[in-house]
Each structure stands twice: as structure tokens, then as C-alpha cells.
């Protein structure tokens, strides 16, 4: 097997980042719509705009600043993406998940993914957090599709990826305990992802619920698939910014995310604190 072009590009991008920051992160975090202010928790941070990093593209969606922030949280070295790339923006799945490859090259061993999501489970309220225990990919594609050219040539991957335990059970437990101790409403659930950028019809919401989805978004799952292909542990959390089908506008989604950023700060910082005492 040989390394494909994406792997070579990821190494080049990682080498560029390493020259900008001395910290070697062990944890990567991807921040969803309106959640970018979480980076204020990072100490001694180095900020690199995406447009300075080789092969990164610009973010075009409100609530996604477009910067990589490297530093420490509770003395744990982290690399935080202040915004992500979306399939609905016209990017390929390779572009959408390229930052995960770069984070792997930087040395991370686990990835935290966050997003703003519509609540499908009738028990969920706006402002709740959902710790992701599983997902349903309804985007019609995935980042490993078409990796095989004259045989499966990317030496970073096994030919077939086991997604049985995509979300690390230890991290899920840490998340539940942290939320409970902090008095933050958080339940575990199943995340569905659609292509977007359209919101779901009432009939589609009913379908998603019957399929077993508790919340729906337009991102995240491709990043998780890539992370698992790269043998990274994953923790995922969704902020329920609206009831699916109700008060639908991206402006409202971002506003609700920004309103709940302090709770996300407490939740993720608490998990990170506990991670330091365990083996990442």
C-alpha cells in the first residue's frame, strides 16, 4: 500500500502548524455553529487562520470563525477547530474531513466533535445537550467512499471500518457524570445527519424518529467516520438549539448556541479534567 495525495497533504499541513506552535496536542476538538467562543478556555493559545494552513479552505457559514487554536486546557495539550467545513457548502467529503487527518498528523489520540442540532426526541428541550451514543448517516455518502483506486491504496486505513463502537463508552460515561455533577441537562441519544442546507419536512422528522434518531444535524458524522478510520477515540455532543421543524433559521441556531456556550465550557472542561486522570 502507498500513501495517497490526501495523506501527503495532511502531513504538509501538519508540518506547517508545528512550526507555528510548540504544543503537541493529544486532544482535538471541532466546534459547531455558534460554539466558537469555547476557545477562550485555552491557555497560552496560538491562533492560525484556516486560510494560512496549506490545503485548508475558507469557512463560509455564520458561526464558524475559521481558525485553528492550539494551547492547553487544564494543562492538557489541545488543538481546537473554531468552525468546520460542510458538505452542503459544495466541498467534497475529502475536504470536509481533511482537518481530521491533519489533527491525527499533529499527534491527537482522541477527537471531540460538537454541533448544533434539532431535537427530534420529544423529551428534549431547547438548550439541552445530547451526548452522542450512536449515529445514522443519511448524507448519501461518506469520506471513505472512492478511496480505492486500483486497490485500497491509503496505508492509513484498513479496507473496512468497524463503526460498532464509534463513540467511546468511557468518554460517554465521563460526559454523563460531568453533566450530572454540574447540574447540566444532558441525555444520551442517536444523531442523524442529512446533507442540508435545507431543514427537514414534518414527514421527514417523523421518519427520522421512527428510524431511531433523537436529534438531527448537517455535519459531524463524516468527521467521526474519518476519526475511526484513523483509530482515534471519539466523544460527541450536540446542543439542541431548536425542536426539529420549529423556529427554523440559522440565525436562531447560532443565537441559541452562543447563549449556551458557558454550559459547554463547564461540560467539556470537566471531561478534560477527568481525562487527565485516565488513559486517553
Of these residues, 142, 242, 257, 260, which one is catalytic?
242
204 catalytic? Reply is no
Contact 214, 119 (CB under 8 A): yes
79, 179, 218, 227: which one is catalytic? 218
The residues, any chain, with a CB within 8 Å of residue 10's CB and separated by 6 or more, are: 55, 98, 101, 102, 104, 105
Which residue out of 88, 176, 258, 269 is catalytically annotated? 88
Annotated catalytic residue within 14, 21, 64, 227:
64
- Pairing mode, strands 27-30 and 110-119: parallel
Known catalytic residue at 88: yes
User: Burial letters for 253-280: b for 16+ Cβ neighbours within 10 Å, e otherwise?
Assistant: bbebbbebbebbbbbbbbbbebbeeeee
Q: Which member of 10, 14, 21, 33 is catalytic? A: 33
Distance, first Cα to last Cα, the chain = 29
Q: Within 13 Å and on the Cβ side, how many CA atoms surround 140?
A: 7
Active site residue 64: yes
Q: Which of 13, 50, 86, 244 is catalytic?
A: 86
Instruction: Please say if 116 is a catalytic residue.
Output: yes
> What's the length of the chain?
280
User: How far is CA 111 from each of CA 146, 156, 233, 251, 260, rounded to the nearest angstrom?
Assistant: 24, 17, 6, 27, 21
Contact 143, 207 (CB under 8 A): no
Say which of 4, 137, 176, 250 is annotated catalytic.
250
User: Is 247 marked active-site?
Assistant: no
Helix H or strand E encompassing 135: strand 129-138
DSSP letters for 6-27:
HHHHHHHHHHHHHHH-----SE
In the annotation, is 250 catalytic? yes
89 tagged catalytic:
yes
Annotated catalytic residue, options 41, 121, 219, 238: 219
Catalytic-residue membership of 218: yes
Residue positions annotated with a catalytic role: 33, 64, 86, 88-89, 116, 218-219, 242, 250
Amino acid at each position: 500500500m502507498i500513501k495517497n495525495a490526501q495523506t501527503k497533504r495532511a502531513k504538509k499541513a501538519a508540518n506547517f502548524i508545528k512550526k507555528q506552535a510548540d504544543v503537541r496536542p493529544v486532544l482535538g476538538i471541532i466546534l459547531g455553529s455558534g460554539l466558537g467562543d469555547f476557545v477562550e478556555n485555552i491557555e497560552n493559545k496560538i491562533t492560525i487562520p484556516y486560510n494560512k494552513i496549506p490545503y485548508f479552505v475558507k469557512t463560509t457559514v455564520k458561526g464558524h470563525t475559521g481558525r485553528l487554536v492550539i494551547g492547553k486546557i487544564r494543562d492538557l495539550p489541545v488543538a481546537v477547530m473554531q468552525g468546520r467545513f460542510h458538505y452542503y457548502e459544495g466541498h467534497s467529503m475529502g475536504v470536509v474531513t481533511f482537518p481530521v487527518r491533519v489533527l491525527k498528523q499533529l499527534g491527537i489520540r482522541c477527537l471531540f466533535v460538537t454541533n448544533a442540532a434539532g431535537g427530534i426526541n420529544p423529551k428534549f428541550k431547547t438548550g439541552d445537550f445530547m451526548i452522542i451514543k450512536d449515529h445514522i448517516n443519511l448524507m448519501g455518502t461518506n469520506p471513505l467512499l472512492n478511496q480505492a483506486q486500483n486497490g485500497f491504496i491509503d496505508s492509513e486505513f484498513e479496507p473496512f471500518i468497524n463503526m460498532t463502537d464509534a463513540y467511546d463508552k468511557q468518554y460517554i460515561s465521563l460526559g454523563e457524570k460531568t453533566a450530572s455533577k454540574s447540574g447540566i441537562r444532558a441525555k444520551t441519544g442517536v444523531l442523524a445527519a442529512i446533507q442540508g442546507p435545507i431543514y427537514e419536512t414534518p414527514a421527514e422528522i417523523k421518519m427520522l424518529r421512527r428510524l431511531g434518531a433523537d436529534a438531527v444535524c448537517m455535519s459531524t458524522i463524516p468527521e467521526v467516520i474519518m476519526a475511526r478510520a484513523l483509530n482515534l477515540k471519539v466523544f460527541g455532543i450536540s446542543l439542541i438549539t431548536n425542536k426539529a421543524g420549529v423556529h427554523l433559521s440559522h440565525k436562531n441556531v447560532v443565537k441559541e448556541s452562543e447563549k449556551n456556550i458557558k454550559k459547554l465550557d463547564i461540560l467539556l472542561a470537566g471531561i478534560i479534567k477527568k481525562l487527565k486522570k485516565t488513559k486517553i
